[in-house]
Amino acid sequence: MQNAKLIIYYEARNDILGNVKEYGLQPLLQMGKYLAEVCATVGELAEVNEECRNCPYFKYCASGCRAVALTLTGDKMGVDLSKCLFFKKGYYEKVVRTMGDFRNNTPINV
C-alpha cells in the first residue's frame, strides 16, 4: 500500500527517476535527478518547515527521515512524526536509562 502512495506521489508530479530495466541501477543512482530527490540539506529543511525549525530537538534529529515524512505526510520535506514522538515523549531518555553503560558523545541538552 505504501508503495502505491509513493508511485501516485511521483506520477502526480510527473517526476520519474528513471527505468532500472532500461538503464541499470548504478547510473540511475548516480544521476542528478535521483540525488536531488533523496538529498536535502538541514538548512533547506529548516527553511521550509517552521515546526521543525522552532523545535528544541531539531539539531539532534534534523527533521528526521525524508522517506518517513513522505509516507506519513505526503510531503518529502514534511515532519517525520516518529522523531517527534521519540524526543518529545521522552523515549530518548528511556533508551538511555535502559542501556545502562550507554554514553552519547553528543548529549542532548534542551
Residue-wise pLDDT for 70-88, tens only, equals 888 888 888 899 999 988 8
Crossing angle of the two packed helices 66-73 and 81-88, in degrees rounded to 10? 110
Q: Which residue has the cell 538529498?
A: 39
The pTM (predicted TM-score) of the whole model is 0.63
**Tens digit of each residue's pLDDT (9 = 90 or more) over 1-49:** 455 555 666 677 777 777 888 888 888 777 766 666 677 888 999 999 8
**One-letter amino acid identity for 78?**
G
> Cα–Cα distance between 36 and 28 in angstroms, integer?
12
Cα–Cα distance list, 20 to 7, 32, 108 (Å): 15, 15, 42
Residue 21, φ and ψ in degrees, nearest 5? -70, -30
Percent of the chain with pLDDT over 90: 12
| Whole-angstrom Cα Rg for the chain | 17
